[in-house]
Amino acid sequence: MPLFQHMFTANIASNLKLPQLQMAWLPLKSLGVREHISIVVQLAFLILLLLQFVRKLLSLICRHKTDQVRDQSVEKYMAGVKFNISYRITLVCSTLLFATHLIILLIMLNGGEILCDSKVRALSSEVMQVVLWASTLLTIYKIPSNKYAKFPWILRAWWFYSFSLYIICTSLDAYSRVVNHSQFKVRDFTDFICLLPSTLLFGISIRGKTGLVYTLSNDTTEPLINGKTDTPLEYKRESLYGKATLFQLVTFSWLNPLFAVGIKTPIDQNEIPDVDIKDSAEFLSHDFDKRLKHVNQKDESLNPSIYKAIFLFIRKKAAINALLAIISAVSSYVGPYLIDDFVNFLNVKNKQSLKTGYLLALAFLGGKMVETITQKHWVFGARQLGLRVRAVLISQIYRKGLRLSCQSRQSHTSGEIINYMSVDIQRITDLIWYLNIIWMLPIQISLAIYILHTTIGLGSLAALAATFIVMFCNIPITRIQKRYQSKIMTAKDDRMKATSEVLRNMKTLKLQAWDSKYLNKIESLRKIECDWLWMSLRLTATSGFIFWGGPTFISVVTFAACMLMGIQLTAGRVLSALATFRMLQDPIFSLPDLLSNIAQGKVSADRIASYLKTDEIQQDSVEYVSKDKTDFGVEIDNGKFSWNPESSSQTLDGIHLKVKKGMKVAICGTVGSGKSSLLSCMLGEMQKLAGTVKISGTKAYVPQSPWILTGNIRDNILFGNQYDSQKYEKTVKACALLKDFELFPCSDLTEIGERGINMSGGQKQRIQIARAVYQDADIYLLDDPFSAVDAHTGTQLFEECLMGMLKDKTVLYVTHQVEFLPAADLILVMQNGKIAQVGRFDELLQQNIGFEVIVGAHNEALDSVLTVENSSRTSQDLIPDVESSTNNTSNSELIHSQHDSEHDLSLDVTKKQGKLIQEEEREKGSIGKEVYWYYLTAVKGGAFIPIIILAQSSFQVLQVASNYWMAWTSPTTSDAEPVVEMKFIFLVYTLLAVGSAFCVLLRAMLVATTGLRTTQKLFTNMMHSIFRAPMAFFDSTPTGRILNRASADQSVLDLELAGRFGTCATTIIQIIGTIAVMSQAAWQVFVIFIPVTAICIWYQQYYIPTARELARLSEIQRAPILHHFAESLSGTATIHAFDQEDRFTNANFSLIDNHSRPWFHNASAMEWLSIRLNLLANFVFAFSLIVLVSLPEGTINPSIAGLAVTYGMNLNVFQASIMWHICNIENKMISVERIIQYSNLKSEAPFVVEEYRPPNNWPEVGTICFNNLQIRYAEHLPSVLKNITCTFPGRKKIGVVGRTGSGKSTLIQAIFRIVEPREGSIIIDNVDICKIGLHDLRSRLSIIPQDPTLFEGTVRGNLDTLFQYSDKEVWEALDKCQLGGLVRAKEKRLDSPVVENGENWSVGQRQLFCLGRTLLKKSSILVLDEATASVDSATDGVIQKIISLEFKDRTVVTIAHRIHTVIDSDLVLVLSDGRIAEYDSPKRLLEREDSFFSKLIKEYSMRSQNFNATHNNS
C-alpha cells in the first residue's frame, strides 16, 4: 500500500473522520508512491556505492606497492581475528534481508500481486533492494581484511533508511488492514519479517563500531589501527580538517574522532589535532607579508596600508563566505513567502489535491535545509577567517615589538601592546564575522519588502519607510557607542598598563608597603572604565529595546497604512506580514550590532595600524664589514646618537672610536655619562643622527640588567645553539657556575622562574655572561658585568672568562670597578655623552683631567679597608685559602632559588625535574554548580534574577497574545467579515505589542545593571586576593597568566556573559511560547518533539565535555603568547645582538598555533552541534507541516494553523539556539571560574592587627633581635636559615656578608616578613614583628633593593609615592642623592616624566632615586641590599658619606659585595650555610687570621695589588 496513503488514513482516522477516508486517498491508490520514493533513494545509494568503488580502485592503483608491503607485514604478524557479537549480527541480519528480498522478487516475477500500477517500477525497486543488500553483504565480508574500527558511513546510512522505511510501512499497512477489515497479505508478512533484522542493524548503526580484535602471532591482541586505544591516537597531531572528505566537511563529522576521545576523558593539549597548514601562523604570516609587499610596491610607500593588505589577504575566503551568507539569507525567506499560500491551501483543502500541500511542506523543508547548511558554513568560514586574521596580526605585532625604536617603546608600553593582542585583536576577529551581514542586509530587506508587496501591495511602502526609520534610529546610537568604545579601550589600556607594572614590581610594593596605594590606583582606574562600560551597556540596552520593539513598530505602521489605504487584511496576509516582520527583526538588529562592531573593530584596527606604523630601530645604522676587509672590530666615525630624535640635545655626540680586533676596551665614567648608550649605538639600538658605525664579525651582548628567559639554565646558556658538551663545560667553569649547579636540584636543567626570579642577582649575571661566551662571537659588549657578583667571583670571571676564554676576542666592557681597568688595552672615560679621555691606565692618570677622580675614590675605599686591616694585623703573608672558604657554601642557595614554593600552588622542584613554573592549572570536568551560583547571586543574592525572568516572560506572553489576536480576529478570506471592527483589532494589537516592547526594555536594563555590578564585584575580589597573595605566588606565576585574567577574561565578564545569560533565558521562554502556539494547531507535534528534544539533549551532553576542555585549553594557551611577548620585549637588544629574531619569531608562531588548535576545534565543535540541532528542529517542523496538511478540513482554524507555521519556522533557530547558548555560556563561565580561582589565593598575614598596633614612634631605637630563627620556603624543603640568634644593636651599622647562597637575602626578607619564620622570632624594639600587621611593619622600615625600580609617572611621584612631603623636602632629598642638578636641568623639573620601568633613566640614576625615597622616609631602620652596585666609585663614595651622615642615629643593615661598604660598620655578621659563622666588630674579626671575614679582606687586597702597583708606577 502506498506510503502516504497510510499516513492519510492514520491521521484522519485519529480524528474520527473515517467516512472521508476513501475520498481523501483513493486518487493516490495506484500511484505507487512507496516504490517511487524507494527507487529515488535506492538509486542515490547505488550511485554513492559506485563512486566509493571508483575511489577505492584509484586509491589501490596509486598505492599498489605500498599496500603489497603492508599486506605482507599484516599476514606475517596476524594469527587470527576475533569476531564479536555486533559483527555476527550484521552478517546474519544482512543475509536474512537479502534472502527475503530475493524471494519477493522471484514471487513478483512469477506473477505475484504488485501493489503499484507500474509493474516496471515495482520490479525495479525490488531489484535495487536485492543489489543493495548483496553489496551490503560483500562490504561486511571485506571489513576484517580492511581492519575497519567502524562500519562505513554509507552502510550505516543505508541501515537507517531501511529501518525507517520498514517501520513506517509496517505500521501504516497494519493500521490500514485493521481499519478496512482487510486480510493480511504476503507482502505485509515480509515487511514485518524485514523489520526485526533492520531494527538490530539500526541499533548497530548508531553505535557504529565493528568491535573486531586481531590476534597477533605473539599471542597479543592488536587494537584496530582506526580504533580506540588507551594511548593517544595517531591522528591527534594531524589535521583532521585538512584530511576530511566533502561529506565530512558539510556535516562537520571530521570532528567525530576528537569527540570520541573527549567523551571518555578530559582532552589534553597534545591530543588536539593540528590546524590545517593554511591556518598555521607561519604560512599565514608569509602570505600576509607577500600582500603587504605587493601593496607597498603598488603604493610606493614606506608605510603601506594595513587595511589594503588585510583586504587582499582575506578576499578569497571572504567571497566564499559572502556567497554562502547570501544563499542563507535568500533561503530564510522561503517560509514567509509561502505562508499565505499555505493558509489559502488549508482554507480550500477540499478543492485541492493533498499533493499540493505536501509539495508546499517539502518547499518549506527544502528552504530550511538549505538555510541551515549554508548558515552553519558561512559562520564557520567567518570564524576560520577570524582565526587567520588573528594569527597574522599577533605575528605582526610581535615582530613589530622586536623592532620598536626606544621612542616608540616609550609611547607604547607592554601593557598597551598586550591589550592589542588580547582585546583589540578579538574585536577585529568579531568584526570579520559581522562583515557577512553587510551583504545579507540589503538582500534580507529587499526580499522582505518584495514578500510584503505580493501580500499587501502598497502597504509594503509603509513597511519599508518604518524599517528605515528604525534602522536610522540606530545610527546616532552607533556613533555614541563608538565614542564609548574608544573611551573603554583607553581606560582598559590605562588599567592594564598599571596592572602590568604592579605585577612586575610586586616585591618592591610589598617591601615599601605601597600595595594598598597601588591597589587603590588600579581600583580608581577600574572605576573610570566601569563608568564608560555602564554608559555603553545602557546604550546597548536601548539598542535591544529597538531590536525587540522594531517589528512591533513596523507592523503597527504597516497595518495602519493598509487600513487607511483600504487594503483587506486577511489572516493569510497578516500571518505572512507577521512572519516577514519577524524575519526583518534580524537585519534590524544586525544593523546596530554591525555598526557597533564596525565601531569597535575600527577603533581596534586603528590602534593596531597606528602601532604597526610607529618608528622602528634604524636597520642601516650599523654597517657590517667582512672580517677579511678590515683590521678593526668596531669603528665609529663622528657619531651622533640620540634616544629621542626629537630632542634638541644628543645622547652621544662627536664619538670617534676605532677598536682593533682582539683588544680589551674598558668604558668608565660617572652615573648617566653615556656608558651603556655607547654600547647601544654599536648594537644599532639608538637613532643615528650622523656619522658611521662599522662592525666586523658577530656580536654578543650582556646587558646591565640581567635578561633571563623562563626555562631551564642550559637553554638560557645555549640560547638556540647546539649543545657541545666540551665547550659547554668549559664555559660554565669560566663563568663560575659549577658550584651553583651543584646546589640546584637538577643541576643546569633546573628551571628558572619568570625574569629569573628564583636566582640571585649574581647568578643571573653569570648565566647571561655564559650565554654570551657560549656564542663564540667575535665582538663582546659587556655592560657592567661584575656589579652583581662578590669580590672573589668577580676576580674569577675577569681572569678566567674575560682574560681567559675571551683573550683573543674583541671585548668592550663597562665597569665601575677600577681594579678591572689596568688590564685593558684601552680605557674610554665617558662624560656628558662624549668620550672625554682615551688611553691606557697609566696614560690617563698622567692627564689629570677627570680620570683621577674615579681612581681617587677607589683609592679612598681601598685605604679604608687597608687601614682597618693593618690596624688589626701587621702580617698579610698568608695567601687566602679561597678553596676552603668556598667549600662552606651550602645548599641554601637551592632553597633561595625555590622560595616561591610557599603557596598552595607550590611544587617540589626536585620531584618535578627542576620545573618551577608549572603548566597552568585548569579545572577538569563540568563547571561546578557553585560557580554558576556564585555568579548569579553575587549581587543582592540574585534578587534581580526573578524580576528579569518575569519581565521576559511578560514580553513573550504579550507577543504571543498580540499575534494570536491578529490571527484569530482577521477574516480568513477577502470575502469574509472580521470578528470585530478592524479599528478595535488594531488598537488591541498595538497596546499588546507596545506593552511587550517595554517589558524588554526593563529586562535589558536589569541585565546590564546586574551584569556590571557582578563583574565589578568579581574584579574587586580577584585584585584584592592577588595583592594579598604572598611573594611566592608571584615568583612561580608568570604575569601573563594574571594579565590574561585581568584582560581577556574580565572583558568576557564585562561585555558578554550577562548578555549571554539574558539571551539564553529569552530563547527558552520563546521556545515555550512557540511550542504552546504549535500545540494549539497540532498537538501531534509533541509525539516527535519530545524524542527529538531528548536526542538534542543527548547531543549536548556528548558535545559539552569536549567543548568545555577545548575552551579551557584555548584560554590557557593565550597566556604563553602574552608571556613570551612581554619577555621578548624586555630583551630586544639581546635578541638583536645575537641575531635571534627568526628563532623568537618561530617560537611565537608555535605558540600562536598552540592557541589556534583548541580555539579552531572549539569553534568547529559549536557548528558540529549547531548543524545537528538545526536539522533535528527542521525534522520537527516538517512533521508538524505534514500533520497540518494531513488533518481533514475543519479540524483546525486555518488562521491558527498559519500562526503555528509562522512560529514553527523559527523553531529550528530557537531549539538550536538554546543548546548553543547553554554550551556557549558554559564556555564563557570558564572565565568566571578562572577569575574565582585567583580570588581565593592563599593570603599573607593581615595588613593591620588592631590588638597589636605598635606605638606611633616605633621603632624608636632600632634594635633587632633574632631568637632561634629558622626559615624555610616550603614545608617539604629544608631550612634556609638555621638557628639564627643574635642582636643588631639600635643606631648601629651592621654589615652582612657571605658567599652567594649563604642566606643574606633571606635574612632581609625575614625582617620584612616576605617569608615567615618557621620557628623562632624577630623582635624589633621589644615588639614581636610576627604579631603585628604587615603594613605596620613594612611602612616603618626602609630598604634600597638590589634591583632599582621606578614606576611610570613623574619624578615626584616616584620619590614621594604617598604624597606625604613638601616640594622643599623632595628637593633636599634629590640634592642629597646627587640628582638635584639633573632634575633641575629638565624642563618640567619635579614633574619630569618617568616612563615604564624607568627606561629613560640609567640604572645608576634609578638606584639614586631609591636612595632618595629612603632619605625622605627617615625610618629608624634602613636596609641596603647591594644599593650601590650600579654606580661608579666616586658616586658610591658620596652616597656612603650621605648615608653615614643622614642615618648616623639609625640602624643600618648593609648587604654588600664591595668590602669597603661594610668595613666601617660597627658589627659584621658573616653567614655560611644559613648559619652564623661569625658576628663581631670588623677589627676583632680581622685579628683572627682564620676568620671568614679576614679571608674576604685578603682576597680584596690581593685583587687590588696589581692596581696599586700600576698606580704607584704611574
1499 near 880, Cβ under 8 Å? yes
Lookup result for grid cell 649543545:
723
Greatest mean pLDDT among 587-591, 740-744, 834-838, 1321-1325 lies in 1321-1325
Asked if the model's pLDDT at residue 14 lies above 80, the reply is no
DSSP element (H, E) containing 652:
strand 652-660
Cell matching residue 347 = 482554507
pLDDT in tens, 1427-1445: 666 566 666 777 777 778 8
Query: Would you state the pLDDT for residue 1431?
Result: 65
Cis peptide bond N-terminal to 1259, omega within 30: yes
From 223-232, 625-634, 1251-1260, the region with the lowest mean pLDDT:
223-232
Cell matching residue 925 = 570536568
pLDDT in tens, 1484-1514: 888 877 777 777 777 666 665 554 444 444 4
Task: Provide mean pLDDT across the span 719-742.
Answer: 86
- Residue 221 sits at φ, ψ, to 5 deg, of -100, 135
pLDDT-derived band of residue 1482, with 50, 70 and 90 as boundaries? Answer: confident
Task: Provide mean pLDDT across the span 618-644.
Answer: 85
Average pLDDT over the chain, rounded to whole? 76
Query: Would you state the pLDDT for residue 746?
Result: 78
8 near 358, Cβ under 8 Å? no
In 879-918, which positions are buried (b, 16+ CB within 10 angstroms) versus exposed (e)? ebeeeebbebbbbbbbbbbbbbbbbebbbebeeeebbbbe
CA dist 1054 and 1057 (Å) reads 7
CA dist 91 and 210 (Å) reads 11
Query: Would you state the pLDDT for residue 1514?
Result: 44
From 212-216, 569-573, 736-740, the region with the lowest mean pLDDT:
212-216
pLDDT-derived band of residue 1152, with 50, 70 and 90 as boundaries? Answer: very high
Pick 64 or 975 by higher pLDDT: 975
Kindly give, in sequence order, each residue whose CB lies less than 8 Å from that of residue 636, ignoring residues fewer than 6 positions away: 655, 656, 657, 658, 681, 682, 691, 692, 693, 694
Q: Reduced to 3 states, what is the DSSP secondary structure of residue 1465?
A: coil
CA dist 727 and 724 (Å) reads 5
- The Cβ of residue 1434 has, within 10 Å, a number of other Cβ atoms equal to 22
DSSP-derived pairing of the beta strands 1451-1455 and 1421-1425: parallel
Query: Which strands make up the sheet holding 1264-1271, listed edge to edge?
Result: 1281-1288, 1264-1271, 1319-1324, 1327-1328
DSSP element (H, E) containing 381:
helix 354-403
Among 1028, 1066, 1035, 875, residue whose Cα is nearest residue 952: 1066
CA dist 248 and 243 (Å) reads 9
CA dist 889 and 763 (Å) reads 14
Asked if the model's pLDDT at residue 21 lies above 70, the reply is no
CA dist 1362 and 515 (Å) reads 11
Among 1422, 1338, 1393, residue whose Cα is nearest residue 509: 1338
CA dist 1362 and 272 (Å) reads 50
CA dist 317 and 882 (Å) reads 70
Pick 1330 or 1071 by higher pLDDT: 1330
Q: What percent of the chain has pLDDT over 70?
A: 78
DSSP alpha helix (H) spans, 1318-1378: 1334-1338, 1355-1359, 1367-1376
pLDDT-derived band of residue 293, with 50, 70 and 90 as boundaries? Answer: confident
Cell matching residue 1212 = 529550528
pLDDT in tens, 1050-1081: 888 888 888 888 878 877 887 787 777 777 66
Pick 166 or 891 by higher pLDDT: 166
Query: Would you state the pLDDT for residue 588?
Result: 67
Among 614, 608, 603, residue whose Cα is nearest residue 411: 614
CA dist 1070 and 718 (Å) reads 62
DSSP element (H, E) containing 480:
helix 459-504
Query: Would you state the pLDDT for residue 993?
Result: 78
Task: Provide mean pLDDT across the span 1236-1259.
Answer: 86
pLDDT in tens, 119-158: 676 777 778 878 888 888 888 877 777 666 677 777 777 8
From 108-117, 870-879, 1438-1447, the region with the lowest mean pLDDT:
870-879
Greatest mean pLDDT among 38-47, 574-583, 1033-1042 lies in 1033-1042
172 near 6, Cβ under 8 Å? yes
Q: What DSSP line would sit under 998-1025, residue for residue?
A: HHHHHHHHHHHHHHHHHHHHHHHHHHHH
DSSP-derived pairing of the beta strands 1475-1480 and 1341-1344: unpaired
pLDDT in tens, 1378-1407: 788 888 888 788 888 888 777 778 777 887
Asked if the model's pLDDT at residue 222 lies above 80, the reply is no
Asked if the model's pLDDT at residue 339 lies above 50, the reply is yes
Among 124, 127, 139, residue whose Cα is nearest residue 49: 139
CA dist 470 and 485 (Å) reads 23
Kindly give, in sequence order, each residue whose CB lies less than 8 Å from that of residue 178, ignoring residues fewer than 6 positions away: none
CA dist 978 and 966 (Å) reads 10
Task: Provide mean pLDDT across the span 891-895.
Answer: 31
pLDDT in tens, 234-261: 333 578 888 888 888 888 888 888 888 8
Give me the residues paired with residue 78 across strands. 216
DSSP element (H, E) containing 687:
strand 687-695
Give me the residues paired with residue 1341 across strands. 1421
pLDDT-derived band of residue 896, with 50, 70 and 90 as boundaries? Answer: very low
- The Cβ of residue 494 has, within 10 Å, a number of other Cβ atoms equal to 19
Lookup result for grid cell 553505535:
207
Query: Would you state the pLDDT for residue 685?
Result: 85
Q: Residues 737, 741, 743, 745: what is their CA dihedral angle, to the nearest 10 degrees?
A: 160
Cell matching residue 485 = 568604545
Pick 721 or 422 by higher pLDDT: 721
